[in-house]
Structure 1
Amino acid sequence: MALGTEKVEEAVRALFPQARIARMDRDTTGPKGALVGLLKGLRERTIDILVGTQMVAKGHDFPDITLVGIVCADLSLSFPDFRAAEQTFQLLAQVAGRAGRGERPGRVILQTYTPDHFSIRTARDQDYDSFYRHEIEFREALGYPPVTRMVQLRIAGRDPRRTRATAEKLGAACRALLAAETGFARMIHVMGPAEAALSRIAGHYRWQILLKSPRSGPLQRFVRRLLADGPRGVGDRQVRVGVDVDPLFLM
């Protein structure tokens, strides 16, 4: 489904031809002073309908907004990230909080293909405790943070073959270290290498390896040992290897 903010704005203008409509996204807020102008328009009621991306949810306080509509509210649930449900709940709860902040009550409409998903239901009900109970059960069952610690090894380079080769060599080095050290084998779980969901950014091809452990100490020692050893045969000056402890971005 191709529903960018421009398409949504076009549809809204067709439905409400008399309304004063503005759009808040990267394109419209790029010029200096543009964002301030949009916020001023909302505050002074010269804008009737605002169409925007996630940035409309970020802490703005407009008492006169009484209706919020969220298109494709479940889109982020399909992201290949163990925090997808958490991020969906957080965003929906934030956006819903923009409505009814003044004396008049607010209303929120969610458009979703998965209305029974717990993150959608709990966000609708603003039920933080219920969301936590569902989500922590999932994290515990699969061993994801916060019940474990995680390190992401990021491999990026301009040549796709060399980048993949480096990722595969680094993955082999991880498993060789696990085989050589029984202490690591009991505490460290290696996932990957795998091509990143966003496989190319700014001309760089991207791969990743995820390391999990119940405790941070063994994980830190494993990474230090891995990088101190070279590892032999992995080094390629055309490919960068980065380490992200407790990563927030897995795409």
Structure 2
Amino acid sequence: MRWSKLATGIGVVCLLAFAGLAVAKGSYREQLCQNEGYHCLKITKGQTWYSLFPDPYERDLVKRINRMNTSLRTGMTIAVPDDLSIDTNLIAPFPKQYDTEGVKTVVVAPGDLAWAAYDEQGNLVKWGPSSAGQSYCKDIERRCTTPSGSFMVYSKGGAGCVSTKFPVGEGGAPMPYCMFFNGGYALHGSPLVPGYNASHGCVRLFTEDARWLNHEFTPGGKTRVIILPYSARANLIQ
């Protein structure tokens, strides 16, 4: 599906679905845990991802549901699925099929704090949490949301990829497994996916997801990257 057609379709209905599920700091997980199939867990002193979820699969599942890989903090609330054995793809915020026009496609939905990879046949292969550009960056004194649109991956880096711009005046911020798609904007791994949009414009992913995209999904050939508008909902793409 062409980007213009996708954007038009989403523009008509995006405000009707999950309109109240905002992505301000903490609000996504706090609202999600009110839904059927989930319960809310308030973190107490000393609790960590490892102490709460010693099983690696369960720990990864809950991190993905909450769209975060940062440390838990006392007093914060997270969403926990009632079924900790559920298949991650069964709770994907994206549809299982999407018209990719025969091109491998990564769709990023800042409004759902998530990304999805579709193969040439339009099948959902994998999805994960993301953190796109925040509304305003104090250090550069301007808006820094990730521009929406349809792009192509044009350059990639490995585990040692770093920013040439940030921190401001220094550069050197780690961007492991970077995949550039629009000027200086890239998908890349990060240990700082906090459950809300917090970057300078790049799209942060769990590092293991960025590694998979970089090595398994984008080697050779063409890969499209679609950044949805922040107001759009991932489940409405077609």
Structure 2 length-normalised TM:
0.23
Larger relative contact order (CA 8 Å, sep ≥ 6)? 2
Name which one, 1 or 2, has greater alpha-carbon Rg. 1
Higher-helix-fraction structure? 1
